[in-house]
Structure 1
Amino acid sequence: HLLNNPHAYAKVRAEVDNVLKGEPIRPEHLGKLPYITAVLQETLRFTPSIPVFGLEAIEDEIVTSEGKQYLIPKDVRILVFVTQLHKDTSVWGEDVDVFRPERMLDGGFERAPANAWKPWGNGARACIGRPLAWQESLIALASIFQRFDLVHNNPSYQLSYKFTLTVKPRDFHIRAIPRPGVPSVFSYSGSRTTVQSPTSSDAPNKENTAENPEHGVDLYLAYGSNSGTCKDFAQRVASETRSKGFIPHIVSLDSIEPAVPTNGPVIIFTASYEGEPADNARRFVESLETAHPGKYAGVKYAVFGCGHHDWKQTYQKIPILVDNVLAENGATRLMTRKEADSGTYEFFDTFDTWVPELWKALREAYGGRLHATSDEGAEEKLSIQMMETSRAAVLKRDEATSIGKVICNRLLTAPGVPAKHHIEIELPEDMHYEPGDYISILPRNPEENVSRVLSRLNLLPDQNILIKSKTTTTLPIDKPVSVWEVLSGYVEIGQTASRKNIQGLIKVAPEDVKPKLADILDHFKEDVIDKHLSVLDVLELYPHIDISLSSFLSLLPAMRIRQYSISSSPLWDATRVTLTLSIIDIPNESSGLQNKFLGVASNYLARVRPGEQVQVGIRSSAATFHLPEDPSVPVVMFAAGSGIAPMRGFIQQRVEQTKSGRNVGKMVLFYGCRSSDQDFLYAEDDLKEWQELGFLEVKPAFSRKTEDSFGCKYVQDRVLYDKELIFEYFLAGAKFYTCGSPPVANGLKETLIKLIKLHHADWDDERLARRWESIQKERLATDVFAYFCNREPLALLVFLLFVSAHCCY
């Protein structure tokens, strides 16, 4: 719970440091740790280790619950479920499903009724050792926090339970990083042990770095990343460190908190996710918000910030916060913070042009301490030895993944329209999810693209190679691996080329080709970005460019994990998930090329067959993008295309609740597609069956057959047509969810602003923004997607619609 709640984590550590003051814990300290005591009390309330205990009525008893009376006859035995007992809102407040130790402070625990907190059991058979266990827990927690910084060993771990005599977390591992200048772990003599600044398991090791320079300056490349982009940027900088005289350490931001290293520069790569830090940067950001003057004295740093311009209110929020707080509290800024906009075609080029500026700043700051070797070029950084025999390679990826099995894969759409698939995957044991969560997929490149590379470079697919690298790499090194395996699973062959890629090709191109490549650079957006032109495409357009496999691989980014919204509910089957996805298959617009632009993960998944294994993981969505705990709360959903995925999971959850006899609130789905007979997903099976249960309405908008949807072409048109229904749901306290592409957002913006202005001509932008912000926290959850991530616009528009609804009624 503390690892998932950085604010509480920071309070525990601050209390330990203030009370113990660097000394080993002593008996007199135990009464001075009120917050740790509250943490233990809240932990046992939130997740009691005893799930149930029994009682027996000694006489006939009438009890009242939720306004109803029940007779419990004498001698009848009843079971008390402790988890439910501890979630009594009349005792603990409405936020009983939130881990909040503060509820136990200032007499909060003492004021609770005697029988409201029963984690030890009840009566004479309650835990006999609870006083000793309580004291041990206080000592252990304080001692551990004094000596170590704690991080998730697996950041994507989902809490699951092991039931024996008591309840325990299953397969939960924590990584402990020694804190500098703390008492010895094994001695209570009061002596001090100094340790180096912490590094995480992400730091380079012998598996992914063949050799490190013996002398050099430590360079900390710290990332906050959910999707992997910032981590990839850190790895790309690390690949150049040997020739620059630095020793790279690739670490997550949480792993360098609170002891931010001072023995070398710290380069920070981080992004904002709707104004929040990445999962592996939450505790670091929490510590920044409680920083004090001088805390970061001696730290030298630079920040590379990622964001998307459509998130106007929170664009670059976290990078700006990190940069400002470090500078204001004693750290030295090595260079001006760089902003990269993932919503523009220059995103990767911004990084490529920033890297030389970074090396220049580092040379100026550390020039006297560097022992750089010459820049040996890509050919010497990556050497390849052809092998005589074949040997299967094991795919490695530092992201945590497990093995799932494909159960079914079916096409949902008619011929002639963009394909969409429904895929069912059996999850590994102990992997759990909730409706609204994501499944992570580690894909492989389309076979067509791999074959194109083999043909262009004159290679055989089963040829074994041995890769050696003098820098950090994500390729499999020092063991035989087939060319096909490397090209299929370790690099992004179809990645759109960057300016740096084209500049690299110019260096090795024949003289008559160089002007043509230079012209591509001059018209980069039109010739490369708009046409999705990859490095492979360029090599096929200019077959006289002579390039080796090692140089080709050095131009490509590492294979990334993709995330898809889960389209099922665990109440349907807790061991399986379903995906609903669009297949990206776009004709190439470059003359001279016959191939298509193929989405890596979508084409990979489109071709998996029942029985095949895929590498998967579960990632929780934002806390707001889950169904209300109370199933009677009405729900309104907006979706288009494969954006129906999480909505299908939400609906299926309530379908299963209905089948079990529970009363569920009404749901309405506004859904956009081309026509009822081409791509109205699930219309003739699931949606038809579920509407018959009585709680679901579906309001489609057909862009190619508007006559079948009351003249409504898009989702926003159908919303406008059924605005009275929207108002009705809003006033009934409904929760609203959106999932779709940017065109959905842009269309809603145009339509809804007209509606708002019609009813509220006197409202200015400031008033609209205030109302939007006040509703956002409680009523709307968004997951707007596309080629380029885009969530904010649709969220704004739906909130504004809510404003209009509220004031009209």
Structure 2
Amino acid sequence: MKAVKDPNLVEIPKVKGYPVVGILPHIDLASPLFSLIELLQPYGPIVQFSIGGELNIFVHSVELMNELCDESRFHKDIKQELEKLRHIVHDGLFTARNGEPNWAIARGILTPIFGTIKIREMFPGMRDVAEQLCLKWARYGPEYVIDVTSDFTRLTLDTLALCTMGYRFNSFHNGTVMHPFVISMVRALKESTMQAAMPGVVNSLRKRSWHRFEKDTAYMRQLCREMIQKRKDENKPDSRDLLGALLQGRDPKSGEGLSEDSIIDNMITFLIAGHETTSGLLSFAFYYMLAHPETMEKARHEVDQVTQGSPVTVEHLSRLPYLNAVLKETLRLQPTAPGFFLVAEEDQIIGGKYFIPAKVPIGILLHILHQDKAVYGEDAAEFKPERMLDENFNKLPPNSWKPFGNGMRGCIGRAFATQEALLITSMLLQNFTFEMADPTYKLKVKETLTVKPDDNFRMKAKLRRGGTATDFQRELYSVGSTSDARPSLTPSTNTLSQAGEGNKKPLTIFFGSNSGTCEALAYRLASDATLHGYYARSIAPLNAACNNLPRSEPVIILAASYDGLPSDNAEDFFEWLNKVEKDSLTGVSYAVFGCGHRDWVATFQRIPILIDDLLQRAGAERFATRGLADSAVMDLFVELEKWTADSVWPAIAQTDGGGERDDDGEGRLITSLLKVDFSQPRQLKQYSHLVEASVTDSRTLTTASAIGKKVHLDIQLPSEQSYRPGDHLLVLPVNPMRTVKRVLSRFHLTWDTIVRASGNDSVRIPADTSMTAYELLSSYFELSQPATPRDIRVLAAAAENEDTKQLLMDLATSSYVEGIQEKRTSLLDLLERHPEIPMTLGTYLTLLPSLRLRTYSISSSPSWNPGHATLTLSVLEEPATVDGGQHFLGVASNHLAGLTRGDLIHVTTRPVKGIFQMPADLSKTPIIMVAAGSGLAPFRGFIQERAIQQRNGVELAPAALFFGCRSSHDDLYRSEIDEFESSGVIRVFRAYSREDVDIKPKIRKGYVQDSMTAEKDAFVQLWNAGAKIYVCGSVRMASQVKDLVTKLVYAAETTGASKQFTPQEWFKRFEKTRYAAEIFT
């Protein structure tokens, strides 16, 4: 592609320069960044120039920037200062070139360390250093002139080193002298900037500067080497901070670790990038607040309102929207990492008219981008935090605020920096008043690799509540400041308690599941194993079984299929198993239990069957016939119980005689395998694979007249979480308060009773950990799960009345389906019906399955509101099925429906499997979407993505939505979808099943199928144009829609060749390419 041959292209404005050196004479080497900004700004949204013989393009408008942030077209380029910085840190996370392997390894190892939950665990360390700064300023008194940037540099360096590497620089205990690392680092950064601005021939003559640069680099690397040796000497293999991860971690994908040199590269990277930018942010923030006293007063008032005079805690930070806006606005005007470079591997055109040659660096100067008047208005250069409050910030166009970089190469430590900045700013505002040391000071910026106010920015601080520094110190420490940290939710390892093994023999359990169902079954199986003379030595995802199938003990595998594919945590195992040689697994003794749903006829049980067959082909010995559970008609826990009782335990006992068996079996459960003690509370550690997300909006979508309630949730995701339209969100729910209260009442407990679990079933609860009864019951077990036959037999064994025994035994056998399954009768229901039956809390909990994750379709596009995902859900509450019984409450839906703005939940995104993905090119492939009720969820995301593409100039292929609901009272997102329809994004055809519809265009009385039939001509026209069909709804709805679609498209077929097949046979050819269904229960 050549630009000169396309008459639609526009030449990029060019800055005139000089031969060889280009624009270098125009650059002030004392202030290269701002002299470049001053030079380029008049040229508009895009400009080109040469320097040192190399062509550069710079882009300064949000409209063009939005295209550059497409990582399928452009990626990060290492230029200028970063290229020179590679001499210090080589291919560290920040300076690695695209495709360098160490970047992917380091990213894989470190991403979990900078997840939201882990960052919250670092709060005590952050507060420790923040207190040191506060005490210094209190002790020096109100007339002391504070060197703002210097003290904030001490703060952020010490915080980063302590929280991520367990190392104390003790910068606040060295008087006015900076730590030698900081001195070397500042010199090296300044030299990198200078080298980047100079042609190579000039740099070759600066021998003294180069020698100093080498010495500074050597010192920083030696210090990191000493930190590594100190950690090794401490012999703490369980250290879970950044340094521990670098030393011990392995990339989850490649399994590779980092060399010591690469570890040092990344240590220095974080020590530089992680503290320089944040210290600059804090310095600029206090300058702007001092320059705008009304802003400082608003921020202080917010802190006071939220904390109510108590010490700042990590929970307070999420409730400071105005202070957060102050920090965001500061980064808009003064992005402390002021720019970055991108590059395309192939020729590109942006803005529909600017030709970008391959390999040419594209520079982004954030000081210009962030003041794009088309986005921020004529007052874009003014400091106005209100524009960054959530309701305004969320309306900004995509990629208009980029202080943390872009995409996969964006700042991995964003959450760390944000929490640190909010903590120290809120603590300082809470405890001090401030004034400029020089009231006439005007902001001047100091440049290195980053930017910050110059050394003349000074201020004074005065304790707000009077008193002495000693009083202030006593106040700080009397509350036990470091106890404010939120409980850690990260287990040190996935190990099991082996208390009480005795003569029991080991077995290994592997599971493959996306939603957590097979994992919950695995833990139930481990609990049951103790009754049969075994204990679970390991419970792990199937991927951990690659080259790791034990031969010395039985192996039990629980697996499911997802559109005929293995679960995410079984993909590697399945690939490995397909490649193993014949007889290579001789000596492995195994059994497989498969989970599935019969509505996926073509792929039902596919993966469990293949695993079973492949293991046998490789020489492993099947010791029990494969178990099968169909969630459409079976209770998975009941089927697992039957399979193990009928096949697994007898087969194992016959093979090796079994272990120390509990001959009293279920009767012994009366005395409880799970012992519950009462003591003082301790912290909870669990759920390391989830991240913490914040609810930013919650509203009811249906009117009061609607049958059933539907809810919309907007959730702000951590930066490490990404998704595409149609993807899923896995949610860890909490049991409804009403259900928890019923359990508390049955066992005569108060909500704040402290319980402590120990014993053989501690695999499902943190061992020897105390917590409140409410926390235990709300967060760990499925309280509403239908009772299994074994559960009922345990009750029968405990019953003292013979009539009650017989009644329960009938429910466990002949009356089970009618009396338990169909009515969703839980173990709690039975206990309430028979309060005379003695049962301990330990026994009750042992019988319950673990609380499992729930899966929801995300109802938004990631481009619509970056960093956010929405859910659209039906709230399940059904009447009691027996006299005197309790309403049945859906666990997850009631939990989510009760959330409000600011509430936190544990979630993770998961890519949709199979073909339920939007077409790659929305301009070429039409789509038909068919939904009923909250099945609209994924299609709202599809529609939003189409709207974004339309705004970006894409000419969309046609699309139609057929939507069915009961009435206008639950016509979800009606005004929003009408707006999309009026702008040409989508055509909508509705059906109301319980409301008489007068003559209204495109609304039918009946179900969604009736609307499709009425509009069959439009439907068939789209099909003939190559449309892809998506369906989302209940099992029954999806089945009927599929039958109708088959009928409509078969009847419209004109080739004649199709007539030799039945409609179903003919349509089957499209099921893997043009027809995708997502079925929910």
TM-score range, shorter chain: 0.7 to 0.9
Residue aligning to 1:673: 965
Residue aligning to 1:480: 770
Check conservation: 1:63, 1:71, Cα contact below 8 A.
no
Q: Kindly state the Cα deviation for residue 571 of structure 1 after the two structures are TM-superposed.
A: 1.7
Check conservation: 1:207, 1:477, Cα contact below 8 A.
no
Check conservation: 2:491, 2:688, Cα contact below 8 A.
no
1:622 corresponds to 2:913: yes
Residues 764, 475 of structure 1: alpha-carbon distance in 2 compared, 3 angstrom cutoff: farther
State the structure with more CA Rg.
2
Q: Kindly state the Cα deviation for residue 328 of structure 1 after the two structures are TM-superposed.
A: 1.6
Check conservation: 1:639, 1:739, Cα contact below 8 A.
yes
Residues 619, 750 of structure 1: alpha-carbon distance in 2 compared, 3 angstrom cutoff: closer
Amino acid at match of 2:1018: L
Post-superposition CA distance 1:69-109 (Å, at most 9, x none): 5546876446689xxxxxxxxxxxxxx979xxxxxxxxxxx
Residues 588, 426 of structure 1: alpha-carbon distance in 2 compared, 3 angstrom cutoff: same
Q: Kindly state the Cα deviation for residue 443 of structure 1 after the two structures are TM-superposed.
A: 1.1
Structure 1: distance between partners of 2:492 and 2:761: 9
Structure 2: distance between partners of 1:482 and 1:535: 22
Check conservation: 1:440, 1:563, Cα contact below 8 A.
yes
Structure 2: distance between partners of 1:730 and 1:155: 48
Mapping of 1:485-564 within 5 angstroms? 485-510=775-800, 511-521=802-812, 522-564=814-856
Check conservation: 2:490, 2:686, Cα contact below 8 A.
no
Q: RMSD value over aligned CA atoms?
A: 4.2
Residue aligning to 2:709: 419
Residues 176, 297 of structure 1: alpha-carbon distance in 2 compared, 3 angstrom cutoff: farther
Q: Kindly state the Cα deviation for residue 223 of structure 1 after the two structures are TM-superposed.
A: 0.8
Mapping of 1:72-111 within 5 angstroms? 76-77=48-49
Residue aligning to 2:611: 322
Residues 80, 503 of structure 1: alpha-carbon distance in 2 compared, 3 angstrom cutoff: farther
Structure 1: distance between partners of 2:767 and 2:86: 56
Check conservation: 1:267, 1:303, Cα contact below 8 A.
yes
1:463 corresponds to 2:404: no
Mapping of 1:372-391 within 5 angstroms? 377-378=668-669, 379-387=671-679, 391=681
Mapping of 1:729-808 within 5 angstroms? 729-752=1022-1045, 755=1048, 768=1063, 771-786=1066-1081
Check conservation: 2:588, 2:621, Cα contact below 8 A.
yes
Mapping of 1:62-461 within 5 angstroms? 62-64=3-5, 68-69=8-9, 71=11, 76-77=48-49, 175=250, 208-209=496-497, 211=499, 213=501, 217-243=505-531, 244-356=533-645, 357-367=647-657, 370=659, 377-378=668-669, 379-387=671-679, 391=681, 394=684, 396-397=686-687, 399-461=689-751
Check conservation: 1:460, 1:483, Cα contact below 8 A.
yes
TM-score by length of 1: 0.72
**Percent of pairs identical after alignment?**
33
Check conservation: 2:522, 2:539, Cα contact below 8 A.
yes
What are structure 2's unaligned runs of at least 5 residues? 17-47, 50-54, 59-70, 117-188, 193-241, 261-488
1:720 corresponds to 2:1006: no
**Structure 1 range deviating more: 415-424 or 741-750:** 741-750
Structure 1: distance between partners of 2:115 and 2:858: 17
Structure 1: distance between partners of 2:714 and 2:549: 44
Residue aligning to 1:34: none
Give 3-state SS (helix, strand or coil) of 1:738's partner: strand
Give 3-state SS (helix, strand or coil) of 2:1071's partner: helix
Give 3-state SS (helix, strand or coil) of 1:567's partner: coil
Residues 570, 714 of structure 1: alpha-carbon distance in 2 compared, 3 angstrom cutoff: same
Check conservation: 2:694, 2:902, Cα contact below 8 A.
no
Structure 2: distance between partners of 1:247 and 1:704: 53
Check conservation: 2:591, 2:622, Cα contact below 8 A.
yes
Check conservation: 2:786, 2:821, Cα contact below 8 A.
yes
Post-superposition CA distance 1:675-702 (Å, at most 9, x none): 12x111111x211222221232110011
Post-superposition CA distance 1:537-571 (Å, at most 9, x none): 11112222121111111121111111211111222
Residue aligning to 1:91: none
Check conservation: 1:431, 1:618, Cα contact below 8 A.
yes
Mapping of 1:638-653 within 5 angstroms? 638-653=930-945
Q: Kindly state the Cα deviation for residue 235 of structure 1 after the two structures are TM-superposed.
A: 1.1
Residues 371, 156 of structure 1: alpha-carbon distance in 2 compared, 3 angstrom cutoff: farther
Residues 596, 226 of structure 1: alpha-carbon distance in 2 compared, 3 angstrom cutoff: same
Structure 2: distance between partners of 1:202 and 1:605: 23
Q: Kindly state the Cα deviation for residue 422 of structure 1 after the two structures are TM-superposed.
A: 1.0
Structure 2: distance between partners of 1:469 and 1:484: 20
Q: Kindly state the Cα deviation for residue 212 of structure 1 after the two structures are TM-superposed.
A: 6.2
Structure 2: distance between partners of 1:751 and 1:566: 27
TM-score by length of 2: 0.55
Structure 2: distance between partners of 1:725 and 1:417: 31
Amino acid at match of 2:1077: T
Amino acid at match of 2:985: F
Residues 554, 411 of structure 1: alpha-carbon distance in 2 compared, 3 angstrom cutoff: same
Structure 2: distance between partners of 1:361 and 1:733: 54
Residue aligning to 1:598: 889
How many matched pairs?
654
Residues 407, 705 of structure 1: alpha-carbon distance in 2 compared, 3 angstrom cutoff: closer
Q: Kindly state the Cα deviation for residue 333 of structure 1 after the two structures are TM-superposed.
A: 0.9
Post-superposition CA distance 1:171-229 (Å, at most 9, x none): 9996479999x9xx99xxxxxxxxxxxxxx99996875262637654411011111111
Mapping of 1:548-587 within 5 angstroms? 548-587=840-879
Q: Kindly state the Cα deviation for residue 772 of structure 1 after the two structures are TM-superposed.
A: 3.7
Post-superposition CA distance 1:332-383 (Å, at most 9, x none): 1101111111111343321111122312211222227x45576683334210
Check conservation: 2:726, 2:857, Cα contact below 8 A.
yes
Residue aligning to 2:358: none
Amino acid at match of 1:537: D
Structure 2: distance between partners of 1:462 and 1:202: 23
Post-superposition CA distance 1:749-772 (Å, at most 9, x none): 554555567668996896656644
Residues 218, 152 of structure 1: alpha-carbon distance in 2 compared, 3 angstrom cutoff: farther
Post-superposition CA distance 1:143-164 (Å, at most 9, x none): x99xxxx999979999xxxxx9
Give 3-state SS (helix, strand or coil) of 1:687's partner: helix
Check conservation: 2:508, 2:538, Cα contact below 8 A.
yes
Structure 1: distance between partners of 2:113 and 2:820: 36
Structure 1: distance between partners of 2:690 and 2:709: 30
Give 3-state SS (helix, strand or coil) of 1:355's partner: helix
Give 3-state SS (helix, strand or coil) of 2:1031's partner: strand
Post-superposition CA distance 1:739-786 (Å, at most 9, x none): 111221233255455556766899689665664444233323321212
Structure 1: distance between partners of 2:1047 and 2:901: 49
Give 3-state SS (helix, strand or coil) of 2:763's partner: coil
Structure 2: distance between partners of 1:354 and 1:64: 71
Q: Kindly state the Cα deviation for residue 468 of structure 1 after the two structures are TM-superposed.
A: 1.0
Residues 126, 609 of structure 1: alpha-carbon distance in 2 compared, 3 angstrom cutoff: closer
Q: Kindly state the Cα deviation for residue 400 of structure 1 after the two structures are TM-superposed.
A: 2.4
Post-superposition CA distance 1:500-534 (Å, at most 9, x none): 21112111112231122123232211111111111
Post-superposition CA distance 1:44-83 (Å, at most 9, x none): xxxxxxxxxxxxxxxxx84346x955546876446689xx
Structure 1: distance between partners of 2:111 and 2:84: 34
Structure 1: distance between partners of 2:110 and 2:627: 29
Residues 336, 153 of structure 1: alpha-carbon distance in 2 compared, 3 angstrom cutoff: farther
Aligned equivalent of 1:608, options 892, 899, 903? 899
Post-superposition CA distance 1:720-746 (Å, at most 9, x none): 111111122123333322111122123
Q: Kindly state the Cα deviation for residue 306 of structure 1 after the two structures are TM-superposed.
A: 1.0
Amino acid at match of 1:418: G
Give 3-state SS (helix, strand or coil) of 1:63's partner: helix
Structure 1: distance between partners of 2:678 and 2:113: 37
Give 3-state SS (helix, strand or coil) of 2:524's partner: helix
